[in-house]
Amino acid sequence: MSWLDWGVLGAYALLMLGIGWYYARQNTTAEDYLVGGRRMSPIVVGLSLFSTLVSTLSYLAWPGEVIANGPMFLTQIVAHPLTYLAVGYGLIPLLMRQPVTSAYEILESRLGNGIRKAGAAAFLLLRLGWMATILYATSHIVLIPLLGLSPNWTPVLCVILGIVTVIYSSEGGIRAVIVTDAVQSITMLAGAVATLLVVSNRMGGVEGWWPKTWPANWQTPNWGFDPSSRLSFGIIVFSTFLWHVCTNGSDQMAIQRYLSTRDAKAARRTLATSLTTDAIVVSLLAMAGIALLGFYQAHPADLPAGKTVLTAGDQLFPKFIMTQMPAGLAGLVLAAILSAAMSSLSSGINSTCAVLERDFLSGMAGMSQADGASVRRMKRLSWGVGVVSVLLSLLSTVIAGNLIERCFKVVNLLTAPIFVLFFLALFVPWANPIGAWLGLTASIATAVSIAYSEDLGLNLGISFIWMMPAALVAGISVGCLASALFGGRRGGATPAPVKPSPDALTTSAQPAPAPTPVAETVS
């Protein structure tokens, strides 16, 4: 890397820290720190939602997946219009009427405090594993080869990346996180475009790298719902749709962003911005994967030592940056990869701290409820979350599969089980705590059985991508049936209604109405 590349990276890091410092002065209440006063721009929040959910895993996995297995995964964008309708008009109106800061407060209104704690704990496990995998992928797969360092430097790089991210996210709160996310979204878009332009220039235009025939290593397109096929059109679209519904309907990172806007209409604009940006960037990264495949097929001598195009799929994007990018552009694309990592990490840290504070610490005896004390507590929590994420990142090496498979096995393992709880709370009028516990257990067991089938000796012969649909169906079925068998709400104590967050009523022109279960509103 040249001095110009280092200059680009340095300017990027200073910009992120500067944004954190600027917004640190505007956080006077816990509501400001966690939801930006509930008045942020839906376009900026939408860019933040996109970059939050993309991460380095996706940014690197897309080109690598296309290189090794073909563009079948690109068909996921077909699910976006369905996602907008289901989430925008089915879930967002329900979520936006809840006067909460933590998404898991919603669970307590129907299923009790125990289920609220269970949902919050599952979210913490999900996002801590997610952040750890991001740290590992960015440090070990990108920075180590790019900087020519020994793999022994991976923990050091994880620490450095974690420190920079914690500084601006802990000081600036959600406003700093959202604004830096928006900047990072633009950087990611620019990085994908720059890669396509450089490859096209080296190969004499698009026709130089566009495949003339279907590569032998690419999966033959499967347009059905074949469970034995690694990927098929039907299950990709279905799984993508379910992932978006589950994530946007139960994940604190997504719901926290919707709550930072004024109303349901603004939240829908946030969702539309996120899905549109996702479709554009995913398409560009898929094209970049095809371009890199063409480049390395034409230049096999430039492949990593002892590797083929097939076995080096996840490494070719960073390899190209290291050896082929002009000075300055290499720094830009590396900044894009770091943007994907840091946007996800900062969002994960902020949301994790929100859940720890609202769902666990604020209700403990002796904990001050004053805004100043709460904000100081969450800033300290940010550092603790960063340390735990770094330690967990060292375990990522034991999970088999390419980055796409790691995304499903680690990042998405608990996505469906958490949404099962929200589905029962919002859509099943007879749901009770016992049914929710059994549904959660069944969903987790199903997800683990499919994701780690070979490791557990089960050999089910089912593709990893079926994990989420199967876990969702199992959890909802068991939860509904068990709730009915155990007699409506008699399975546990009557839950208390959701209480507004301490600042929720002071930051809005009007108090939000008390939450109403969806089953009552549509009956």
- What's the pLDDT at 399? 52
Find, among 52, 17, 1, the residue nearest to 343 by Cα.
Answer: 52
Listed residue (419, 124, 92, 403) closest to 265, CA to CA: 92
Q: What is the pLDDT of residues 240-285, one digit of tens each?
A: 999 999 999 999 999 999 999 999 999 999 999 999 999 999 999 9
Token pair listed for 298: 């034409």
State the pLDDT at residue 396. Answer: 62
Phi, psi angles (nearest 5°) of residue 97 = -85, -5
Please tell me the distance from the alpha carbon of residue 461 to that of residue 470, in angstroms, as a whole number. Answer: 14
Could you tell me the domains of the chain?
3-362 (1.20.1730.10), 412-492 (no CATH)
Residue 310 · residue 68 · CB < 8 Å: yes
Three-state SS at 228: coil
Q: How many CB atoms lie within 10 A of CB 29?
A: 17
Q: How far apart are CA 113 and CA 132, in angstroms?
A: 28
Residues 6+ apart with CB under 8 A from 265: none
Closest by CA position to 99, among listed 514, 516, 476: 514
Whether residue 23 contacts residue 172, with contact meaning beta carbons closer than 8 Å, is answered with yes
**Torsion over CA of 416, 417, 421 and 422, rounded to 10 degrees?**
-20
Tokens linked to 3: 């001095």
**pLDDT beneath 70: ranges in the chain:** 57, 227-228, 365-366, 396-410, 461, 488-523
Q: Give yes or no for a contact between 100 and 498, defined as CB atoms under 8 angstroms apart.
A: yes
Reported pTM: 0.85
